[in-house]
Amino acid sequence: MGTSVFDSILLKNSWSTQEMRNVFNDEARIQRWLDVEAALALVQADLGMIPAEAAKEIAAKSQFDQIDMDYVLHHLAITKHPLVPVVRGLEHACEGDAGEYVHFGVTTQDIIDTGLILQMKDATAILRRDLEEMAGYLLNLSVEHRNTPMMGRTLSLQAIPVTFGFKTAIWLSEIDRHLQRLDEMDARVFVGSIVGAVGTKASFGPKADAMEKAVNERLGLGTPNISWQPARDRMYEFGAVMGGINATLNKIGNQLLLLTHNEFDEIAEPFGEGQVGSSTMPHKRNPAVTENSVTVSNTLKSNINMMSDITKHEHERDGAIWKMEWKIIPEICLMLSVVTANLNFVLGGLEVKKTSMLANLDLLKGYALAERVMFALADKLGKQTAHEEVYHAAMKGIEGGITFKEALAANTAISGALTEAELDTLLDATTYVGDSPNIVDQLVSDVKAGGRIA
């Protein structure tokens, strides 16, 4: 692969992971809290709950660069509280008495939960874009290799032929379903929380419902039908969907690694000029990027497992459980962005080795075509008899170290039913890929019709 193309793909996907880091760094987290505080103040002013001038000042100062972070860190050391130092920093930044109306009626969990939901929404947009990119690569591979024969494998052993496009089309169908799941979870998961100390809205008065709805709409979020402070199924659903995506990407990465083995040598990931595979073996062209995707994906699974614990809230708020999300959810998004970036790099420049695939089709000296021969004999001998005759011929031939054609020719029942020319046709592995090309075409058509993938 040319160096310029290699560098272009690498740079593009490195930027993608940096975007995800920018969603979850300290500045972004605090800014999302400030976004909620600003929306709250502006809506409360609209409803006559706080002075309009105070709300304008709060909104104007609800920017990270307007906050004195030394002041915030000083109060963090004193209060040992995750949000109060930022609230005090916003109060400190406001002119006049506007600071008196900051954080009016809400509780810490309102701001942190809603801020995290905003970060999750941002993260999902990045992930969706990267999955769409991956789907594009898989779609192109599927179309290009709809007729590229390779050996299908079941239970680790050679089975019967497929096409490489058929294999990648299956991966494409999985990615399409994950994009559908992202769409379906949107309305349920991306919901704000402006409900006060224990979710009863006691501090807001009669305008509480209107206020909550307006704040959420200003932030681009849905409004729940009841407090979800102790009901974390939304966070669990988010983790479950991310876990499902990770599971598919883990499978794809693992399969790519298997196909790169020298003994298979059917694909290779991009390898740029100057790239080094080993510090001691100069010949190595290690599938390092694919390997990294699998490594990170394997590690991510532990965070997915922990998501089941976050629904176990005690009473109306449980800090020991709730605060686990602050670690788990950002890590899931950050790690998943690395996995998608790695696989996009690999799939975007994947080398498909057709010659090796053809060679591997004959690795078993024709025995992988036993099913085909059996069904050809079924019309003449009966299916069960054909199975028995082919089975005995195959077992005897394998033990004798001869080709399948030789084994079949040595069986009088089979040689009496099929000519040599018919056997030659039946033992051409490249023509026994079933309906793979048409299946690929239909899948690609269905995926495009779904509208999630161009």
Residue 1: per-residue pLDDT: 40
Residue 92 tokens, joined: 């400190």
Cα dihedral 338→343→345→348 (10° resolution) = -150
User: Is the pLDDT reported for residue 185 higher than 60?
Assistant: yes
Mean pLDDT, to the nearest integer, of 348-361?
Answer: 97
Per-residue pLDDT, 12: 60
pLDDT greater than 70 at residue 34? yes
pLDDT in tens, 39-96: 999 999 999 999 999 999 999 999 999 999 999 999 999 999 999 999 999 999 999 9
Q: Is-contact 334 123, C-beta < 8 A?
A: no
Residue 172 pLDDT grade (very low, low, confident, very high; cuts 50, 70, 90): very high
Check pLDDT > 90 for residue 255.
yes
Q: Identify the pLDDT of residue 2.
A: 42
pLDDT tens-digit series, residues 107-160: 999 999 999 999 999 999 999 999 999 999 999 999 999 999 999 999 999 999
Q: What are phi and psi of 178, to 5 degrees?
A: -65, -40
What local confidence, expressed as pLDDT, does residue 213 receive? Answer: 98
Condensed to tens digits (0 to 9), the pLDDT of residues 310-344 reads 888 889 988 899 999 999 999 999 999 999 999 99
The pLDDT of residue 279: 66
Percent of the chain at pLDDT exceeding 70? 95
Please state, rounded to an integer, the average pLDDT across all residues of the chain.
94
Token pair of 453 as six digits = 């993938």
Residue 84 to residue 75: CA distance in whole angstroms: 8
